[in-house]
Amino acid sequence: MLLLTCAALAECPAPTSAAELDSERQRAEFAWVEMDDAAFREHADAVNSALPCVGDALLSEQIAGYFRVRGLVAFLDGDREAAAIEFRAAAAIDPEYEFSAELVPEAHPVRGLYEDSRVVEDLHVRLPDPADVWLQIDGRRALEAPSGRPWVVQLFDPDGRVEDTHRMEAGGVPEYRRAEKVHLDWHAIGLDKRARIWRTRGRVAAGGGYALAGIGIVGVAVGCWDPGFSPSCAVPSVAVGAGAVGLLAGVPMLNGAALRERRLLADVGALVPRGWSNASWILYGVSIPAMAFFPAGMALYAGSLACVTAQIRRNRRTYPGLQGGPAVARHRPRLSVSPQMGDGQTGVRLSLVGW
């Protein structure tokens, strides 16, 4: 991964943005309309050289535009087969796109070549699971790569920063550290870890219950006060206090449970990004003083609750071992379970391997 990133940086005198790439694509298309061959090739070359230097996330439409420009270059060079391959990629990524009459007139052979490329079936193959990055393929987060046409991959680190942007040819596989897929025997990992996991689930349930109860009780209490701040219905002060405690404790309990889940996963080498949890803490910190302005404060609190819920869902969706599933993706230590026999006795030997 490091070598790939360094190689990409070595090819780029300076990083560029997705917007700058798209701007060069628009200049190339304008030169094509003006039939300015030299300017078209200059901007098309700029599009091609800028792609590996892009340091932010590319949209699918921008990647499709890149392939269209490469197709126009190939057509201008007289290589219709190469043009068809580029157009096939563009049409598969952005199937709704239509050339404007100004860019490509109705009778122009480019239009027919582009339309013919639409009928080719877009087949995909599954890529290996990454260990410490996530992939965007043709502008969408995925692990299914096209097998019959070129495509663009971007590698992101756990915090969402682009580490590499690269064009891949048909059948290519990008370089990144693979996650080792191992089976996790829940009966062999020990009662202690299983108990910790179940306690984590209990904290999630308790935190969610506190937060929802707090929202309901405080909402009813505030609804009982008119604009003059005099109560229009009786709400026991004990209930109001319990609701306030629920609001204060609910989100921290959920974030604590999410943190414990992440630590359990880290014990077996699985690192889960914590962006949703960070967002939840920020919204929670703002929502408490904002409760003085009830609708806004409650909306911020609900946003904090939604973020921490998304973090817990990410933990469990990304690594189904937390839910008692058959496998968990990781790349560091793993538990080895093997039968052991000797002296007329049988048993099971447990050991950690892969340190």
Residue 125 has pLDDT above 50, yes or no: yes
Residue 163 has pLDDT above 50, yes or no: yes
Pick from 282, 280, 281, 300: nearest CA to 290: 300
> What average pLDDT does the segment 108-114 reach?
93
> What average pLDDT does the segment 147-173 reach?
91
Residue 236 makes CB contacts below 8 A (sequence gap 6+) with: none
Residue 311 makes CB contacts below 8 A (sequence gap 6+) with: 255, 258, 274, 275, 276, 277, 280
Most confident of 230-239, 285-294, 319-328, 339-348: 285-294
Tokens standing for 19?
């917007």
Residue 343 has pLDDT above 50, yes or no: no
Q: 3-state class of 64 per DSSP?
A: helix
Averaged confidence pLDDT in the chain: 76
Distance CA 69, CA 8 (A): 22
Tokens standing for 318?
């990304």
pLDDT tens-digit series, residues 267-323:
655 566 777 888 888 888 888 787 767 677 778 888 888 888 888 777 766 554 444
Q: Give pTM, 2 decimals.
A: 0.53
DSSP string, 324-347: T-SEEEESS-EEEEEEEEETTEEE
Tokens standing for 127?
């890529």
The pLDDT, as a whole number, for residue 267 is 61
The pLDDT, as a whole number, for residue 181 is 53
How many percent of the chain have pLDDT more than 90?
A: 34
Amino acid at 24: E
Question: What 8-state DSSP symbol labels residue 309?
Answer: H
Q: Residue ranges per domain, the chain?
A: 2-168, 191-330
Distance CA 249, CA 148 (A): 53
The torsion of the CA quartet 183, 188, 194, 197, rounded to 10 degrees, works out to -20
Distance CA 241, CA 245 (A): 6
Residue 91 makes CB contacts below 8 A (sequence gap 6+) with: 64, 97, 114, 117, 118
Q: pLDDT category, 56, cuts 50, 70, 90?
A: very high
The pLDDT, as a whole number, for residue 117 is 87
- Torsion angles phi and psi, residue 149, rounded to 5: -160, 165
Residue 177 makes CB contacts below 8 A (sequence gap 6+) with: 1, 130, 131, 132, 133, 331
Pick from 65, 77, 76: nearest CA to 108: 76
Most confident of 44-53, 214-223, 252-261: 44-53
